[in-house]
């Protein structure tokens, strides 16, 4: 298992997600983001808007995903 925070994944808080793969942790962060969005959490809404701006092109999205995947891969395993 590895851990990354909401902030590390483009979010706005220090909530920690744990998963065995990047796909899994991305799904967890997305689910959390949607929950925060539904609650109307301002910090998360701002973070999401920033992400939206960043994700204007397929390439930008791919690049962001790959860089986060590398970050995840380079994280130490949880003990």
Q: Is 9 in the site for Zn ion (CB under 5 A)?
A: no
| Closer of 37 and 63 to Zn ion (Cβ) | 37
Q: Is 51 in the site for Zn ion (CB under 5 A)?
A: no
User: Taking each helix axis from N to C terminus, what angle separates 22-39 and 42-54, rounded to the nearest 10 degrees?
Assistant: 130
| Closer of 11 and 28 to Zn ion (Cβ) | 11
Q: Which residue from 45, 50, 22, 21 is spatially nearest to 33, judged by alpha carbons?
A: 45
Q: Is 13 in the site for Zn ion (CB under 5 A)?
A: yes
Q: How far is the CB of 69 from Zn ion (least distance, A)?
A: 19
């Amino acid at each position: 298992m590895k851990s990354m925070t909401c902030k590390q994944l483009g979010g706005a808080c220090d909530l920690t997600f744990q998963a065995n793969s990047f796909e899994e942790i991305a799904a967890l962060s997305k689910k959390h983001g949607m929950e925060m969005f539904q609650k109307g959490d301002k910090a998360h809404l701002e973070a999401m808007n920033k992400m939206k701006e960043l994700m204007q092109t397929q390439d930008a999205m791919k690049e962001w995903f790959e860089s986060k995947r590398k970050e995840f891969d380079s994280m130490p395993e949880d003990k």
